[in-house]
Amino acid sequence: MYQKYVDSIVESCKKDNSYVVMLKWDAIDEVHEKLSKNGKLIQKIGNMVEKFQFENNRVSFYRTGKLMLVGVENIEQFLAQILE
Protein backbone atom coordinates (compact mmCIF):
# COMPACT_ATOMS: atom_id res chain seq x y z
CA MET A 1 0.00 0.00 0.00
CA TYR A 2 2.75 2.49 0.91
CA GLN A 3 4.37 1.93 -2.52
CA LYS A 4 1.63 4.17 -3.91
CA TYR A 5 3.32 7.12 -2.14
CA VAL A 6 7.01 6.16 -2.00
CA ASP A 7 9.53 6.63 -4.79
CA SER A 8 12.65 5.42 -2.94
CA ILE A 9 13.97 4.48 0.51
CA VAL A 10 17.58 4.99 1.58
CA GLU A 11 18.92 3.73 4.89
CA SER A 12 20.99 6.28 6.77
CA CYS A 13 24.51 5.43 7.86
CA LYS A 14 23.65 6.40 11.43
CA LYS A 15 23.18 3.73 14.11
CA ASP A 16 19.73 5.04 15.13
CA ASN A 17 17.70 3.14 12.51
CA SER A 18 16.98 6.20 10.38
CA TYR A 19 15.83 6.36 6.77
CA VAL A 20 15.30 8.95 4.07
CA VAL A 21 12.15 8.35 2.05
CA MET A 22 11.57 10.19 -1.20
CA LEU A 23 7.88 10.60 -2.01
CA LYS A 24 6.26 10.51 -5.41
CA TRP A 25 5.65 14.07 -6.52
CA ASP A 26 1.88 13.67 -6.94
CA ALA A 27 1.51 12.11 -3.45
CA ILE A 28 3.16 14.80 -1.30
CA ASP A 29 -0.05 16.55 -0.19
CA GLU A 30 -1.85 13.28 0.52
CA VAL A 31 1.07 12.01 2.65
CA HIS A 32 1.13 15.29 4.60
CA GLU A 33 -2.58 14.93 5.29
CA LYS A 34 -2.10 11.35 6.56
CA LEU A 35 0.84 12.33 8.79
CA SER A 36 -1.14 15.25 10.24
CA LYS A 37 -4.09 12.97 10.97
CA ASN A 38 -2.17 9.98 12.39
CA GLY A 39 0.77 11.64 14.17
CA LYS A 40 1.36 14.28 16.80
CA LEU A 41 2.91 17.50 15.49
CA ILE A 42 5.89 18.30 17.73
CA GLN A 43 7.64 21.03 15.73
CA LYS A 44 7.04 23.25 12.73
CA ILE A 45 9.93 25.04 11.05
CA GLY A 46 8.61 27.77 8.81
CA ASN A 47 6.51 26.45 5.98
CA MET A 48 9.07 23.83 4.92
CA VAL A 49 9.49 21.21 7.68
CA GLU A 50 7.11 19.60 10.15
CA LYS A 51 8.14 17.00 12.72
CA PHE A 52 5.68 14.37 13.89
CA GLN A 53 5.82 11.80 16.69
CA PHE A 54 4.47 8.27 16.19
CA GLU A 55 4.91 6.34 19.47
CA ASN A 56 8.73 5.90 19.69
CA ASN A 57 9.44 7.08 16.13
CA ARG A 58 9.92 10.56 14.69
CA VAL A 59 9.06 11.64 11.16
CA SER A 60 10.27 14.88 9.61
CA PHE A 61 8.16 15.90 6.63
CA TYR A 62 9.79 18.21 4.08
CA ARG A 63 7.57 20.06 1.59
CA THR A 64 10.06 19.10 -1.11
CA GLY A 65 8.81 15.49 -0.92
CA LYS A 66 11.20 13.94 1.57
CA LEU A 67 10.60 12.14 4.85
CA MET A 68 13.29 11.56 7.46
CA LEU A 69 12.37 8.64 9.73
CA VAL A 70 14.23 8.08 13.00
CA GLY A 71 14.07 5.09 15.33
CA VAL A 72 12.38 2.70 12.90
CA GLU A 73 12.92 -1.04 13.35
CA ASN A 74 10.94 -2.29 10.32
CA ILE A 75 10.66 0.34 7.57
CA GLU A 76 7.98 -1.40 5.49
CA GLN A 77 5.74 -2.08 8.47
CA PHE A 78 6.15 1.47 9.77
CA LEU A 79 5.36 3.08 6.41
CA ALA A 80 2.28 0.89 6.04
CA GLN A 81 1.16 1.93 9.52
CA ILE A 82 1.58 5.70 9.12
CA LEU A 83 0.28 5.88 5.56
CA GLU A 84 -2.84 3.73 5.98
**Nearest of 31, 26, 39 to residue 1 by alpha carbon:** 31
In the chain, what are the domains?
Answer: 2-82 (3.30.310)
User: Distance between CA 45 and CA 30 in Å, rounded?
Assistant: 20
Look at residue 13 and tell me whether its pLDDT is greater than 80.
no
pLDDT in tens, 69-80: 988 889 999 999
Share of the chain above pLDDT 70, in %: 99
Instruction: State pTM to two decimals.
Output: 0.90
